Amino acid sequence: MSDLSAESLGLKSVGSVYHNLSYDELFEHELNNKEGRVASSGTMMIDTGKFTGRSPKDKYFVQQDPSQEYIAWGEVNKPVSVEIFDELYDEVIDYLSGKDLYVTDGYAGASGDTRISARFITEFAWQSHFVKNMFLRPELQELANFAPDFRVYNASNLTNTKWQGHGLNSEVFVIFNIEKNIAIIGGTWYGGEMKKGIFTMMNYWLPLKGILSMHCSANVCADDEVTIFFGLSGTGKTTLSTDANRQLIGDDEHGWDESGIFNFEGGCYAKTIGLSEESEPEIHGAIKRHALLENVVADDDGVVDYFDNSKTENTRGSYPIEHIDNHRPGLKGGMPKSIIFLTCDAFGVLPP
């Protein structure tokens, strides 16, 4: 239980607030709430409902000064008015107020100079588990004085019934208000919305400080030579960077400043379709207690069939980076020696 007040959370009232639970406590809540079932590896398995991936067409930014001058508006970065945001924000606050909630605090950015503190307010224990896996976990002394720079309100069961009148894409919404340092999520259970939401904000903040934000993985060899791997989802960033002979800096999101490369996250989010101990032993070994499996198929004994794509091709496993034995302490490296661009070129567009 927590001593966080409704006022400190920006809510009108609260039920029970479960603040920064341990992995074991989250596991018990997930079981007691019947949010998932346990795999034979000891890993919690959950389903994310009809959304097994992100909803990029439902992502918006509040169009207002001064941030609107620094956003490349278009199909990817779509505007929404202050009035529509305020209306949906009020609905989210009304919806979450009075409920039992899970509140999780974490950092984004392994470089202390530009680290961002984020607070996630969620309905379900597994959502708290997910962000605990994915973000940098504060030390106990840091939690004592934790002050969030950014808050994410995840009202995943709330849909926008007025979406057509608002001129939006659907009843799902993921909206960022940069001036208020708030994001609201509704209508989708997919945990990756929270992960990519903070990445989105890092992509806004860091370039304003002269730091390159990158969708890439990174590792380092024994001679301290850093390699980074760029590529879209599914091109092999996590698999190739997780190498028994090299230290893993991170598998997905990084910054590049005057000192070198640094991870944004404290965990990995691996695709698990086709996963086997023979082909990807480090990732397979990371799927254990404290990891979280999404949308996988398992038999009655909890044995996962990683080749079953009946729910989705985008089956996933999140886990703290400490599950990879040879991760890089501090999650930072020097200037990259090698930069590799990965592509899944099924049509032969690129020359050999």
| Cβ neighbours around 85 below 10 Å, total | 22
Catalytic choice (43, 48, 52, 54): 54
SS3 155: strand
As a whole number of angstroms, the distance between CA 143 and CA 115 comes to 15
Provide the token pair at 16: 């029970």
Does residue 246 have an active-site annotation? no
Does residue 132 have an active-site annotation? no
State the helix-helix crossing angle for 125-134 and 23-32, rounded to 10 degrees. Answer: 150
Domain 11-35+51-208 class, CATH top level:
alpha beta
Does residue 117 have an active-site annotation? no
Q: What CATH code is assigned to 212-341?
A: 2.170.8.10
Annotate 121-143 with b (16+ C-beta within 10 A) or e (fewer). bbbbbbbbbbbbbbbbbbeeeee
Nearest to 252 by CA among 51, 119, 240: 240
- DSSP strand E in 76-211: where? 78-80, 101-108, 116-122, 150-155, 173-177, 182-186
Position 1 scores a pLDDT of: 56
Residue 327 DSSP symbol? B
Catalytic choice (119, 196, 246, 328): 196
Query: Contact at 8 Å (CB) between 305 and 297?
Result: yes
| pLDDT by 10s per residue, the chain, length 352 | 567 999 999 999 999 999 999 999 999 999 999 999 999 999 999 999 999 999 999 999 999 999 999 999 999 999 999 999 999 999 999 999 999 999 999 999 999 889 999 999 999 999 999 999 999 999 999 999 999 999 999 999 999 999 999 999 999 999 999 999 999 999 999 999 999 999 999 999 999 999 999 999 999 999 999 999 998 887 889 999 999 999 999 999 999 999 999 999 999 999 999 999 999 999 999 999 999 999 999 999 999 999 999 999 999 999 999 999 999 999 999 999 999 999 877 777 777 6
Does residue 284 have an active-site annotation? no
Angle (CA) 157-126-136 rounded to 5° is 115
Does residue 215 have an active-site annotation? yes
Does residue 252 have an active-site annotation? yes
Predicted TM-score (pTM) of this structure: 0.95
Where exactly are the structural domains of the chain? Answer: 11-35+51-208, 212-341
Position 132 scores a pLDDT of: 99
State the helix-helix crossing angle for 192-208 and 125-134, rounded to 10 degrees. Answer: 40
Position 187 scores a pLDDT of: 98
Does residue 233 have an active-site annotation? yes
Does residue 54 have an active-site annotation? yes
Catalytic choice (59, 137, 195, 237): 237
Catalytic choice (233, 311, 312, 337): 233
Catalytic choice (104, 238, 315, 318): 238
How far, in whole angstroms, is CA 243 from its chain's centroid?
Answer: 22
Catalytic choice (115, 215, 288, 289): 215
Measured in degrees and rounded to the nearest 5, phi and psi for residue 131 equal -70, -30
Query: Contact at 8 Å (CB) between 103 and 9?
Result: yes
Catalytic choice (241, 252, 271, 332): 252
As a whole number of angstroms, the distance between CA 50 and CA 344 comes to 26
As a whole number of angstroms, the distance between CA 103 and CA 94 comes to 17
